[in-house]
Amino acid sequence: MTSIDDLPVRDELRGQSPYGAPQLDVPVRLNTNENPYPLPEALVERITERVREAARHLNRYPDRNAVELRTELAKYLTRTGGHPVTGEQVWAANGSNEVIQQLLQTFGGPGRTAIGFEPSYSMHPLIARGTGTDWIDGPREPDFTLDTQAAVRAVTEHRPHVVFITTPNNPTGNAVPAETVRAVYEAAQAARPSLVIVDEAYVEFSHGDSLLPLLAGRPNLVVSRTMSKAFGAAGLRLGYFAADPAVVDAVQLVRLPYHLSAVTQATALAALEHTDTLLGYVDQLKSERDRLVTELRALEYEVTVSDANFVQFGRFEDPDGTHAVWQRILERGVLVRDNGVPGYLRVTAGTPEENDAFLDAVREVKKELSA
């Protein structure tokens, strides 16, 4: 049977594995950081209305530049992000992964480099590799925080063309202070004019504020967002970013024509009409996330401070031990994530009932392992 490596694929793709998390049919799925609350019925009805109207014109291409959607996203960012944003500063694509891909196609590519601070979102190096951009692993502290001086040294040494800062960080959950981002940005511009991407996929769940205000006076800074998490719309596949209008213009050089379907735009616009309701669910999830932190610490697990909708916990002795705990939790009907951080697992904050099931499972597992 032919394998991938038997094909004439690019050398940097040989031996690699595609991104993915287990999709198992279990009672409680807390492994992919999804919002557990279904969309409210009023929003479902509004989506139906908007999609029905869009369907009447599916014989025509959609708005190539998604002007209405970008305008409404800008209004949302202005209202919630602490910084005025215009539609000309916003770009939208099919999930934040396509946003990252377009940015790397524009500012990375063959002969160019990107740096991220590991462990972090595993799609950043994967997309870099897919766009022919060389990837550099930057340092994190043992507690998974980002040391400002170490990050500045890494940027100064490697002089990357693109810098990724994920805050709140996935998979660890901790946030990066604004002063660190400012310092890294200045170092990136001193080494060579470089694009700095702040990935805020989980920022609505944070105890702190968005870093959108840092856009002022920083033309090479991008703040990336998604509607998958806080908006409870993972199935929609809508990501977006805010930046200087020139960055938006540059990305349009590589975007595929009519990349956002009329149905996607209609659905996203409907969701933006129900922002207050959806952010109410976010408040519930933040409370449940904090409860998970408290309960896991009471069980004497090491828990990373979390500003996201998930919690990283451990510490297990070795990779085999980590996966064994993951398997024991799964056997109790709860799916969490073993995503490769040595000694740790990650659990998504679910509904109170789902979180109770998870906590019951880890209590039973801990008791078994202590016997």
CA-based nearest residue to 299, from 287, 313, 286: 313
Confidence of residue 284 (pLDDT cuts 50, 70, 90): very high
Residue 38: pLDDT above 90? Answer: yes
| pLDDT given for residue 3 in this prediction | 83
Retrieve residue 321's tokens. Answer: 């031990």
| pLDDT given for residue 365 in this prediction | 94
| pLDDT given for residue 19 in this prediction | 73
Distance CA 340, CA 338 (A): 6
pTM of this prediction?
0.94
What percent of the chain has a predicted confidence (pLDDT) above 70? 99
Judge contact between 88 and 107, C-beta under 8 A: no
Q: How many CB atoms lie within 10 A of CB 10?
A: 9
Residue 371: pLDDT above 70? Answer: no
Distance CA 83, CA 257 (A): 30
Query: What confidence tens digit (pLDDT) does each residue in 336-368 have?
Result: 999 889 999 999 999 999 999 999 999 999 998
Confidence of residue 17 (pLDDT cuts 50, 70, 90): confident
Mean pLDDT of 279-308: 96
Residue predicted with more confidence, 369 or 59: 59
Residue predicted with more confidence, 224 or 16: 224
Distance CA 88, CA 235 (A): 26
Query: What confidence tens digit (pLDDT) does each residue in 211-257 have?
Result: 999 999 999 999 999 999 999 999 999 999 999 999 999 999 999 99
**CA 120 to each of CA 115, 140, 173: distance values in angstroms, whole numbers, following the listed order:** 11, 10, 9
Residue 326 buriedness (CB in 10 A; 0-12 / 13-18 / 19+)? buried
Distance CA 138, CA 59 (A): 48
Phi, psi dihedral angles at 137 (to 5 degrees)? -85, 120
Confidence of residue 106 (pLDDT cuts 50, 70, 90): very high
Q: In what order do the strands lie in the sheet with 310-314?
A: 302-303, 310-314, 344-348
Q: Which residues sit opposite 92 in a β-bridge?
A: 240
Residue 319: pLDDT above 80? Answer: no
Which domains does the chain show, CATH number per domain? Answer: 19-39+276-370 (3.90.1150.10), 45-273 (3.40.640.10)
CA-based nearest residue to 167, from 48, 305, 50: 305
Distance CA 221, CA 247 (A): 9
Mean pLDDT of all residues in the chain? 95
| pLDDT given for residue 36 in this prediction | 96
Query: What confidence tens digit (pLDDT) does each residue in 257-271 have?
Result: 999 999 999 999 999
Angle at 209 between CA 208 and CA 210, to 5 degrees: 135
Mean pLDDT of 293-300: 97
Helices (H), the chain: 41-55, 67-80, 95-107, 123-130, 148-158, 178-191, 245-251, 262-272, 275-298, 319-331, 352-370
- Core vs surface per residue 337-362: b (16+ CB within 10 A) or e: bbbebeebbbbbbbbeebbebbbebb
| pLDDT given for residue 83 in this prediction | 95
The number of CA neighbours under 13 Å toward the Cβ of 166 is 27
Residue 22: pLDDT above 80? Answer: no
